[in-house]
Structure 1
């Protein structure tokens, strides 16, 4: 009977057309993935891939085999993960994608308590500003906002994502704080250009009464990443519009001050995302429940 490792190596190699990319997804070496696939071919007695120096291409037998097992592999992985630990205790590597600042300041501090409760879980956390493909890239969960919700992905809201205007006390020294978001245009703006669209992101802010007005900043400093915006604001280069979790530590320390404090922009929700499975691995369920409970408290 084939091992799960051989089947995983074959399926991921077929998905990505490369042993190297499959190895990266599986946290193995390319040689290990190639060896597992070769062992599978030897045991089945058929060639599954046409190999070239640039790409793997499925043979007819390989395509037939992939069609036969791909839909069952995920359920098998989940079933094994769910019962692999003694007494059903959650165990295994927990691969999670997190936004850098929110992850480091709000999620990482939860880890000691989580590991004390679930010592057989091994965290493998990636701090990155991108929307990962949970299924294709082998993530157990991701935290962030605005992910595309395909039928296979579930989102559980953790907290609202509010965008606020901040600047350093040094920058504001000698300047008049504007009474509303329209007045921000008189100040130097630190803005972000989207790598996906190539456009500068602009926000419409609202207050508690429901009034709305645009917050158009001068494009004095342009970057492509929220943490760089925060660092530029800390350096006294101007005003930045950033999510509350990204700037809360600096606000608490007095390193940044909030401008037009009655106003904010709604960026949706910060959520935890995970694949919808009939048999969700116990490690993933434990993590999702732990994070939701922490944010609720």
Structure 2
């Protein structure tokens, strides 16, 4: 297994650009990681990194080598984890992508319970608001909303998400509370730009009677992150139309008020995405089942739906 150890040190150092960062992920010292990379370089007969006092960068040969070995090493790690699966013990690095605000608020609190059940699994999570290529980027799973289902990927719904109008108590004291979506046009608001398309997001709200109305404020700021929008609204900068996962914590604390409670928009499902291959590694299957059960058996799904219509 020495070669696999050397390759793991090389891949993680290349991904992080640092022996120290790779060492933290591997549970080794930076000197041990550097030594393992040097042994790999000696074995292949070429220099893979240019080294400086603060960072390491791939040589041209290193870039070519990384492209060739990343996929096969991942498959080998899955095969090793598969042996553990046969023994009933999920194990190995679990690479997951999730949005920053959602992951911090709803997923990180679940991590301790998951690790108690599966201590041989090493969570390796990437917090990013962009959509990742689940298969191409080597992720075991991704959690989010509106992720495109590409070939080889399936999704299991965790909760439905709504768009609700919010504002801070101080903002409402200054401007008054709108009674209809049409009233928003005269009020300052925080607009959202799609991180994918770069376009401003416009929402059509609906009420229980089936009436529709466009919700559009006078923009005083434009953000591409709903978590940032929520906190800006809590500071009284304007009205924000927010996905319920980002609105709920501030609504619960009183930092935001749910306005136009009879009106909302369906933002679609929040789902967990993973490979459609039949023999999932035990670590992935255990994680998917744990997340689905956590949202089904606790109040998480109801909390993500947000406040009831008024």
Query: What is the match of residue 265 of structure 1?
Result: 265
5+ residue gaps, structure 2: 51-56, 298-310
Query: What is the match of residue 193 of structure 2?
Result: 193
Aligned in 2, Cα 1:276/1:56: closer, same or farther, shift over 3 Å? farther
Conserved in 2, the CA contact under 8 Å of 1:96 and 1:141? yes
Deviations 1:148-199 (A, max 9, x none): 2211222111111211110001100143322222222121111122344332
Conserved in 2, the CA contact under 8 Å of 1:6 and 1:40? no
Conserved in 1, the CA contact under 8 Å of 2:170 and 2:236? yes
Aligned in 2, Cα 1:6/1:120: closer, same or farther, shift over 3 Å? closer
Partners of 2:253 and 2:296 lie apart in 1 by 24
Query: What is the match of residue 134 of structure 1?
Result: 134
Partners of 2:127 and 2:246 lie apart in 1 by 13
RMSD: 3.6
Aligned in 2, Cα 1:36/1:229: closer, same or farther, shift over 3 Å? farther
Query: What is the match of residue 162 of structure 1?
Result: 162
Partners of 1:37 and 1:22 lie apart in 2 by 18
Query: What is the match of residue 80 of structure 1?
Result: 80
Partners of 1:276 and 1:56 lie apart in 2 by 34
Aligned in 2, Cα 1:38/1:152: closer, same or farther, shift over 3 Å? farther
Deviations 1:257-288 (A, max 9, x none): 11111211222211111223332111111111
Offset, 1:246? 0.6
Deviations 1:16-59 (A, max 9, x none): xxx834878986899679657646646xxxx9x9x9x987479x
Query: What is the match of residue 120 of structure 1?
Result: 120
Partners of 1:231 and 1:249 lie apart in 2 by 10
Query: What is the match of residue 274 of structure 1?
Result: 274
Is residue 14 of structure 2 the alignment partner of residue 20 of structure 1? yes
Is residue 296 of structure 2 the alignment partner of residue 296 of structure 1? yes
5+ residue gaps, structure 1: 14-18
Conserved in 2, the CA contact under 8 Å of 1:189 and 1:238? yes
Partners of 2:230 and 2:161 lie apart in 1 by 16
Partners of 1:187 and 1:170 lie apart in 2 by 14
Partners of 2:281 and 2:249 lie apart in 1 by 34
Partners of 1:57 and 1:185 lie apart in 2 by 57
76-85 vs 122-131, which deviates more?
A: 76-85
